[in-house]
Chain A
Amino acid sequence: MALKDITLGQYFPGTTIIHRLDPRVKIIGTIAYIVALFLAKWLVTYAIMLVVLAALIAISKIGVKSILRGMKPILIIVIITGLLNLFYTPGQGEPLVSFWVFTIYPEGVWAACAMVLRIAMLITCTFLLTYTTSPIQLTDALERLMNPLKVIKVPVHELSMMMSIALRFIPTLIEETDKIMSAQKARGADFDSGNLIQKAKALVPLLVPLFISAFRRADELAVAMECRCYHGGEGRTRMRQLKLKGTDIAALILAVVLCVVIGVLGRYGF
């Protein structure tokens, strides 16, 4: 069973400028890029977005192959979105092609290309975030970015604690699943044959012990956390402090500039 091969967060460790950026800046930057993507209108703006993305990928030294591999699962969604846009965008001029119930207008071709490109770039830029930022840094940054939400009673600390504990226990539980599977196989359990329903049923003897063990772990972990004086987020300090460096501020400014430039150009129809 290839359970061990599952990588989570798909983080590629590295030491490039992008890797070393403050995770908060990377999250804000990603959001800025996505906003800019939706402000983009026509060839010029799309070209700028594409160049920016290509530059970021080059700097981060993430292989184009790994990005393409990441795209695979969502390929179908991209294709369907493309086709829908292609056929259902109404146009004023002469249709380009017309057969059976389908008519394709030049506007449709443009809309489809733009949409496919937009989704692809959107996904690539989020990949860039998760490929260059470790899960811990991500949860850490999210907690700090969402900190203002505490005012409206959002349990920010609790959410990020849950997230980091979940991340911590994924490998442990995967290992456990492997063990239980082997134990059940040794007693003649069959996980691989039969139709979908039979396969799902075969999972019951796997899931029951797994859940029981997970609850026991949760219980023990809670006691251990209490023993180490855990009493919620109140009065808690952090060892690792996030400080904005010069490069972080520069990156933030660049992200804002990108948004503004694309916004203005898009408004004038470029």
Chain B
Amino acid sequence: MKDTILKTEGLRFSYQEETIPAPVVLDGVDLEIEAGSFVAVLGHNGSGKSTLAKHLNAILLPTGGKVYVDGIDTADEDKLLDIRRTVGMVFQNPDNQIVANVVEEDVAFAPENLGVPPEEIRRRVDDALKAVGMYEYREHAPHLLSGGQKQRIAIAGVIAMQPRCIVLDEPTAMLDPIGRAEVLKTIKELNRASGVTVVLITHHMDEAAQADRLVVMAKGKVIADGAPKEVFQRVEELKAVGLTVPETTELLWELRKAGLDVPLDALSDEECAAVLAKLLTKDVTPA
């Protein structure tokens, strides 16, 4: 039996404001996320994906339905620390989540809050910094680092808490391509090497394509859920909600529309190239 770490049941959320009617941000989301998996949540602006993320460690509480973290109802206030310790959260702007003015002090922040003994904190900080490849920078001031490096520090700050799951809310949105690649590599390595469950909220197709499982959201609902290869084949559906598909899928889809018999599931550049090569050899060979 697979171990479920995050579970939402009919999750509904609307901001309780004076505006009538209150806009419904999440409209009945049912999700189960397996421990150790790498799940990407894809959606357009306003699809409710960030709001969903904030429910996963009780920053927001559902106005309808339930959210369970490792079996604990997030509405249970007494268990708040347990929930936050289980699910770490990384946000978009690295500047606004770094607390201390020395890298290692910042990484130590979460374990310090949890009352971990000093020697153990030291060990966790070193491990976390090595895991994100920032160990040499442990005595630097964060504001002198690049965006990608800062975001890796933020990730290290969460890892030092030793969570079972990390939710990243558009962690690469403010980064340049190099920073994005650094952060994504770090995330994938964490998932693979330490078995940490990763929920990556994003609107970048190429990032989403690297996950084990892809959840697509639109207007507060899950509209597609499955392996990226399967989900991206539903090109029309994705385009209908204002999302694009990776360039490889787009190309194959156009070819298919032009009447060629190509599979849509060649997601990586290499796979796509192989399909095209096959197509070319087939075409030049006289029938």
A229 touches which of B113, B117, B142 (Cβ 8 Å): B113
As a 0/1 sequence over residues 208 to 241 of chain A, the CB contacts with chain B under 8 angstroms (1 = contact) are 0000000001001101111111110001111111
Contact of A231 with B158 in the complex, beta carbons under 8 Å: no
| Segment at the B interface, from A41-49, A141-149, A161-169 | A161-169
Distance in angstroms from B148 CB to nearest chain A CB is 17
Contact of A238 with B112 in the complex, beta carbons under 8 Å: yes
A165 touches which of B91, B99, B111 (Cβ 8 Å): B99
Distance in angstroms from B157 CB to nearest chain A CB is 6
The B77-125 residues at the A interface (CB cut-off 8 A) are 81, 84-85, 88-89, 91, 93, 95-102, 104-105, 108-118, 121-122, 125
Assess A239 versus B114: contact at CB under 8 Å? Given A171-B141, A227-B59, A229-B85: no
Distance in angstroms from B282 CB to nearest chain A CB is 53
Distance in angstroms from B209 CB to nearest chain A CB is 27
A124 CA / B108 CA spacing, docked (Å):
35
A235 CA / B114 CA spacing, docked (Å):
7
Which among B141, B143, B157 has the greatest number of chain A C-beta atoms within 10 A? B143
Contact of B81 with A239 in the complex, beta carbons under 8 Å: no
Contact of A237 with B116 in the complex, beta carbons under 8 Å: yes
Contact of B96 with A220 in the complex, beta carbons under 8 Å: yes
Contact of A136 with B100 in the complex, beta carbons under 8 Å: yes
Contact of A168 with B84 in the complex, beta carbons under 8 Å: no
B89 touches which of A136, A227, A235 (Cβ 8 Å): A227
Contact of A228 with B118 in the complex, beta carbons under 8 Å: no
Assess A239 versus B115: contact at CB under 8 Å? Given A171-B141, A223-B59: no
B101 touches which of A167, A223, A224, A241 (Cβ 8 Å): A167
Query: Is B161 on the interface with A (CB-CB < 8 A)?
Result: yes
Query: Is A158 on the interface with B (CB-CB < 8 A)?
Result: no
Query: Is A172 on the interface with B (CB-CB < 8 A)?
Result: yes
Of all chain A residues, the one with the shortest Cβ separation from B115 is A235
Distance in angstroms from A229 CB to nearest chain B CB is 4
Query: Is B172 on the interface with A (CB-CB < 8 A)?
Result: no
Contact of A239 with B112 in the complex, beta carbons under 8 Å: yes
Which among B57, B91, B95 has the greatest number of chain A C-beta atoms within 10 A? B95
Contact of B96 with A224 in the complex, beta carbons under 8 Å: yes
Contact of B113 with A230 in the complex, beta carbons under 8 Å: yes
Contact of A221 with B99 in the complex, beta carbons under 8 Å: yes
Query: Is A175 on the interface with B (CB-CB < 8 A)?
Result: yes
As a 0/1 sequence over residues 225 to 268 of chain A, the CB contacts with chain B under 8 angstroms (1 = contact) are 11111110001111111000000000000000000000000000
Contact of B113 with A136 in the complex, beta carbons under 8 Å: no
The B230-262 residues at the A interface (CB cut-off 8 A) are none
Assess A229 versus B84: contact at CB under 8 Å? Given A235-B115, A236-B112, A237-B112: yes
A-side interface residues toward B, CB under 8 Å? 135-136, 164-165, 167-168, 171-172, 175, 217, 220-221, 223-231, 235-241
List 12 A-B pairs, Cβ < 8 Å: A136-B105, A164-B100, A171-B141, A224-B154, A225-B109, A228-B84, A229-B114, A237-B112, A237-B118, A239-B118, A239-B125, A240-B118
A-B contact sample (15 more), CB < 8 A, given A225-B109, A229-B114: A164-B101, A168-B98, A168-B99, A171-B141, A172-B143, A217-B95, A220-B96, A221-B96, A223-B59, A228-B110, A228-B113, A229-B81, A236-B113, A237-B115, A239-B118
- Which 7 pairs, one residue from A and one from B, show the smallest C-beta to C-beta distance? A224-B97, A220-B96, A228-B110, A239-B108, A239-B121, A227-B89, A168-B101
